[in-house]
Structure formats: C-alpha cells, structure tokens
Amino acid sequence: MDNEQQKQIGWKNAEEKVYFKAQWGLALKLITAFTTVLLFALPSVLLFTAPRDFIPWIFLMPLTVVAVSSLFMIRGYVLTPDILYVRRLLWKTKVPLAGLYSAVVDTDAVKKSIRTCGNGGMFSFTGWFWNKQLGAFRAFATNSKDVVVMRFGGGKVVVVTPERPGEFVDFLKTTNEHE
C-alpha cells in the first residue's frame, strides 16, 4: 500500500495502527431514536399518575438509561498488528488477534441473529448473539451492511462493522502474514 492510500485510510504509521469509523446504519438510527423518544415520553405520561414522591425517579430513570447506554456506543475500530480496539465513548474494548485464521466481508452474516446477552440497538448492537450461519458470536456492530466476520481458533467468532470493510480485511490479512 503506498503513502497516499495510507493517508486515505487514516494511518499514522503503516506498521502501528489504522483507524476505521463505525457508521450507524438505518436500523440503529431508528431504534436509538425511537427508544430515546419513548424513554423521555414515558415520564410525561407517568407524571399525572405516579405518586408525588416517585416523580423525581420518573425523570431520572430515562436519563440514566440513555446516558449509560450511550457509554457503550461503538465509535470506531483501531487495528494494530496484535489487537483490535473497539472504541467506545470513554474507553476501548480489546480484542486480541492471536489465533485469528479468517476474516471475511459477509453482509448476510448477521441476518436472523438471536441476541443471547447484550444490547440490541440502543446506540449499538453489542454482546453475544447466535444464528445458524455463525453459531455463537460476539458483535461490536453499528450496521448490517459493513459486516466483517473474524474467526479464531477454538471456535471464537467476532463480528465488527467498520467503514470500508474490504480494506479492514486486507489490513488484517497483511498483519497475519507477518506472524
């Protein structure tokens, strides 16, 4: 990859790391917007029916749910030769790349998935899921069109949704060639 291509994908140093944005898909935008509106509309209804001493909690609860959920949003992905960092609002989740043997773009991979534990659309699709195609997998996703399926030894499967998924896979393949 030449220097111009490295600049286009945001590399600071081709040997160290590369950043990929996490674009929100339509489903994530709609679920987040609908849930947020619903959470803030609920206090308006309960304001007239709840006991007076419960009123502060009526307003605090939706604010807390939205604030805590927003902390887990996926902002992007930082790839290094050894670790994938999933950028959250205030921290990064580490996904070690040791044992990675396959990375492919597959837009159908997350269809008909069942969430077994995690967040199903409030600022992200994160947690543990299952479907017939992948079996059990962990997802750090924001849309269903930029899907990259990473397979590791021991049956571990991780799904991410970086902008420019083809380049993401290419970078993963070049880092694996050096091992």
Average pLDDT, the chain: 86
Residue 85 backbone phi and psi in degrees, to 5:
-105, 125
How far apart are the C-alpha atoms of 19 and 12, rounded to whole Å? Answer: 9
82, amino acid identity? D
Every domain of the chain and the residues it spans: 3-26+75-177, 30-71
For 18-50, how does the pLDDT look when each residue is reduced to its tens digit (9 = 90+)?
999 999 999 999 999 999 999 888 887 777 777
Q: For residue 100, what are its two tokens?
A: 């990675």
17, amino acid identity? K
For 101-127, how does the pLDDT look when each residue is reduced to its tens digit (9 = 90+)?
999 999 988 989 989 998 888 999 999
- The CB density around residue 159, as the number of other CB atoms within 10 Å, is 21
How far apart are the C-alpha atoms of 113 and 6, rounded to whole Å? Answer: 35
The pTM score is 0.82
